[in-house]
Structure 1
Amino acid sequence: MQFDQAVRGRPADAALAVVVGALVTTAAVFEDGTTVLDYLLIALGSLTLAAYRGAPRVVLAITTAATTAYVVHAHPGTLSALPVLGAVHTAARAGHRGVAALASAVFLAGFMTTGPGAGEVVERTLLLAGWFLCALVTGLADRNWQAYLRQTEQRALEAERTREEVALRRAGEERLRIARELHDSLTHSISIVKLQAGVAVHLARKRGEEVPPALLAIQQAGGEAMRELRSTLEVLRTDEPTGTPALLVERARAAGLAVDLRVTGEERPLAATVDRAAYRIVQEALTNAARHAGPAKVTVELGYRPDELTIEVRDDGVARRSGPPVPGIGLTGMRERVTALGGTLSAAPRAEGGFSVRAELPLDAPEEAR
C-alpha cells in the first residue's frame, strides 16, 4: 500500500519541485548579478525535491549544499530558502529531525554572509530561523499525525478481525447446537421407526407371509433417512474442509465409485474461500453421483486458469434430459456458494446420458464470502 501511494505521489512531487524552482528562479531574475551557475544551483537544489519520498536525507544534503552555495555566491533574498525549507520539512516528517536541524543551521550560517548591512542580515536571518523552526515543527507534527492514522487503521482492522472471529465462533457453536438437537431427536425417532419396520418384516417372513410393499418402503426410507441425517450431521460438525478434491476422489474410489481426476493448467494454492467452495462442490457432486447415477463412471476435472478455477463433475449414469432434476438442498447449497463468490454454476443432465455439474469460480473472490 505504501509503495502504491509513493507511485501515485510522484507526479505531485515533481510538480512541487518545479513550482519551487520556478519561484526561486523568478526571484533570481530580479536580483542583480545572477549568473548561469546560480541558475544551475537553483535547478539542482529545487528539482532534487522530487525524490524526497525515496531518499529524504540525500535530498536534504543536496538541496542544502546547492542552495547554500547559491546564496553565498549571489546574495539573494529570503525566497531563495524555499528549497531548503521543503527539504527540512520532509526530512523531519521522515523522522530525521537531527539532520534537518543541522541543515537549517548550515543554510542560516551561509545566509548570514549576504546583505549589505549587519542589522539587515540579522533581521533576515532571524526571520528565516523562524521559518525553519516552523518547517521542523510541521514536519514532526505531520509524522505524528500519520502514525496516529496508521494506528487507528490497525485498530479498526483488528476490531473487524475480532468481530469476524466472534461471528465465526458463534456460527460454529450454533451448528454444533443444531447437530446435537438433530442427533438427540431425529436420530432416535428414525432409529425406532427403522427398527420396528425391520422387526415387522422379519416376523412376516418368518411366518411365511407376504411382506406388504408399504412396510418394505418404510424400512428402505428409514435406512435412507438415517444415511442422510448422518451426512447432514457430519457437515454441521465440520467447520472447514478436511482435505482436498483429490482426497475426495480417493475416498469415492475406496467406496466403490469409478472416478477419474483430471487437472489442467498450473495447479497452485487458492484463496481460502475458493478452496473451501471447490471442496464442497466436488464433495456434493460425488455424493449425488454415488446416490443417483447408479453403476456409472464419474470424471472430475479441475481447470486452473489465470483468473478463475473451473470445476466439472460428470457421470454417464441414468439421468436423461427428459427428466430434469428438482433442485434439492445440495444443489441449492452449491449454487449459493458459487453465487457468493461471483461465479457461475450449471447442473443438468447430459445429452449423451448422465449428469454434469460445472462451476466457474473467480480467483479474486472476496474473503468474507463463505
Structure 2
Amino acid sequence: MRGNTDGRTLLDTAAAAAVGAVVVAAACLASSPGALDVLLVAAGSLALAAHRRAPRAVLAVTTLCMFGYAVHAHPGSWVAFPVVVAVHAAARNGHRAQAVAAGVLFLLGYTVVLLVSVPGVQDTVERMLLLLGWFLCAGVTGLIDKNWQAYLRQTEQRALDAERTREEAALRRAGEERLRIARELHDSLTHSISIVKLQAGVAVHLARKRGTEVEPALLAIQEASGEAMRELRSTLEVLRTDVVDPGTGLDRMDELAGRARAAGIVLAVVVEGDLRTLPADVDGAAYRIVQEALTNVARHADRAGTSVRITRTDTVLVVTVDDDGPCLPGGTVTPGTGLTGMRERVTALGGTLETVPRARRGFSVRAELPLEPRRATG
C-alpha cells in the first residue's frame, strides 16, 4: 500500500511539472514572461501535484495564480489549462460545487481581461465559448471518473463479500460434517468399545475372585479398550470443538510402548534429540505414525520384535519403525486404511513416508516430518 501511494505521488508530481512546462513554453512563444509570470505559472501548475490529498486547496491556489497571471500578462486561452485540470480533479473527488464556482469565476474574470486587452467582441466570445467547452468537459469527465471509481470499489467489495460468503458456507458445511461424523462415531464405536471394556473388566474380576492368574492378553485388552475410550472421547471433542487434542503427542510414548509390550510385542525405543519443543502438529502426527505402525505389528506381524527410533535434527523429525515380521523382501504390500491415513498425515505436513519390506525380513516404516511444515497443495 505504501508503495502504491509513493508511486501515485511521483506520478502526480511529474504530471504537474509537465503541465507547468507546457504553460511556460506557451508563454515563451507568445512573449517574454517576467519573473513574476514564471512564478505564478509554476505555483499554479505545481500545486496540481497535491490534487489527491487536497483538491479544494489545489483548485483555489491554481485558479488564483493563473488568474493573476492572466491579469498581469494578458496571455492566450492556454492560460486556463491548469485551471481546467484542477476543476477535473475537484469534480472527480466529489467537490462539484467548488469546481463549478471556480470555473465560473475564472471565466468571468478572464472575460473582463479579454474585453479590456483584446479589441473586438467576436474574438472574445469565441475564446470564451472555447474555454466554456473545456470547463464543461473537465467537469463531466471528472464526474464520470468519480462514478467509475465508485463502481470499481463496489465491484471489488461485492467480490470480497461473495468470497467471504463462500468461505463461511464452506466452514459451515465442514462443521456440519464434523458433527455428523462425531454422532456416527459416538453411536457406533462408543457402545462397542464400552462392551469390550466391560467384558474384559468382568473377566479380570472373576479370574481374581477365583484366585487364578489373569492372562496378560486379557489385561492388555482391558487397558487397550480403556485407552480406546479415552482417545475416542478426545476425538469426539475435537470434532465438536475443532480444537487440537494436546494429549496425543510423543510425551505419551512411554505409555504407548507399555501397551505394546503388554500386548506381547518385544519393543525397543530409541529417542535422539529434544522432543519437548516440537510443533504441535508434527508431535501429534509422529505419535499417530508410531501408534499405527505398532498396531500393524500386532495385527499383521504376529507381534514380532520391533524397534522404534525417533530422531530430531534442526530441520526435520525422523520416525522409523522396523519389525522382524514375516514380510519377505520384494513382497507386495497393499495399503490399508491405516497406511493410507498415515501417508495423508505426513503429506499434509509436507513430509515423506516410506513403507516397504526390509532387506532381510520384516517391514519398515520411515517418516520424515519437517519442523516447519510445508503444507501440501491441492
Unaligned runs of 5+ in 1: 242-279, 304-308, 314-318, 346-356
Match of 2:203 among 200, 218, 222: 200
CA distance in 2, matches of 1:282, 1:19: 65
Distance 1:209 1:324 in 2: 41
- Residues 67-121 of structure 1 deviation map (CA, whole Å, 9 limit, x = unaligned): 1111122222222211101110001111111111111112112221223322101
- The worse-fitting range, judged by mean Cα deviation, of 281-290 and 148-157 is 281-290
| Residues 302 and 129 of structure 1, relative CA distance in 2, 3 Å threshold | farther
For 1:1-370, what aligned pairs fall within 5 Å after superposition?
1=1, 5-32=4-31, 34-112=33-111, 113-114=113-114, 115-239=118-242, 241=243, 280=244, 284-285=248-249, 288=252, 291-292=255-256, 324=319, 359-360=371-372
- For the residues of structure 2 that align with 1:337 and 1:238, how far apart are their CA atoms? 21
C-alpha distance in 1, partners of 2:240/2:340?
17
Separation of aligned partners in 1, 2:251 and 2:225: 19
TM-aligned CA deviation for residue 221 of structure 1: 1.8
TM-score (norm 2): 0.68
Amino acid at match of 2:44: G
After TM superposition, give the deviation of residue 54 of structure 1 in Å.
1.1
Distance in 2 (CA, whole Å) between partners of 1:189 and 1:232 is: 16
User: Corresponding residue for 1:264?
Assistant: none
Q: 1:173 to 1:8 in 2, by over 3 A?
A: same
One-letter amino acid of the counterpart of residue 43, structure 2: L
Amino acid at match of 1:31: A
Contact 1:284–1:330, Cα closer than 8 Å, also in 2: no
Distance 1:209 1:120 in 2: 126
Contact 1:187–1:229 at 8 Å: present in 2 too? Answer: yes
The alignment's TM-score, normalised by the length of structure 1, stands at: 0.70
Structure 2: which 5+ residue stretches go unaligned? 259-273, 285-307, 312-317, 322-337, 353-368
Contact persistence 2:62–2:86 (CA under 8 A):
yes
The change in CA–CA distance for 1:176 and 1:26 in structure 2 (over 3 A counts) is: same
Deviations 1:10-34 (A, max 9, x none): 1110111111111111111111353
CA distance in 1, matches of 2:254, 2:241: 21
Kindly indicate whether the alpha-carbon contact (under 8 Å) linking 1:89 and 1:136 is maintained by their aligned counterparts in 2.
yes
Q: Does the aligned pair in 1 maintain the 2:87–2:99 contact within 8 Å?
A: yes
What whole-Å deviation, never above 9, does each CA across 1:126-180 have from its counterpart, x for those lacking one?
A: 1111110110111111111111111111111111111111111111111111011
Identity in percent: 58
Greater Rg over alpha carbons, structure:
2
Matched to 1:8, the amino acid is G
What is the rounded CA distance, in whole Å, between the counterparts of 1:54 and 1:290 in structure 2? 67
Q: Go from structure 1 to structure 2 and tell me whether the alpha carbon gap of 1:338 and 1:109 turns closer, same or farther (over 3 Å shift).
A: farther
Q: Which residue of structure 1 lines up, in the alignment, with residue 355 of structure 2?
A: none
One-letter amino acid matched to 2:67:
T
> How far did residue 44 of structure 1 move?
0.9
Give the match's secondary structure for 1:236: helix
Q: CA deviation at 1:217?
A: 2.3
Partner of 2:299: none
Asked if 2 retains the 8 angstrom alpha-carbon contact of 1:300 and 1:312, the reply is no
Counting matched residue pairs gives 303
Deviates more, 1:227-236 or 1:214-223: 214-223
Give the conservation status (yes or no) of the 8 Å contact 1:100–1:136: yes
Once residues 180 and 130 of structure 1 are traced to their aligned partners in structure 2, the CA distance between those partners, rounded to angstroms, is 74
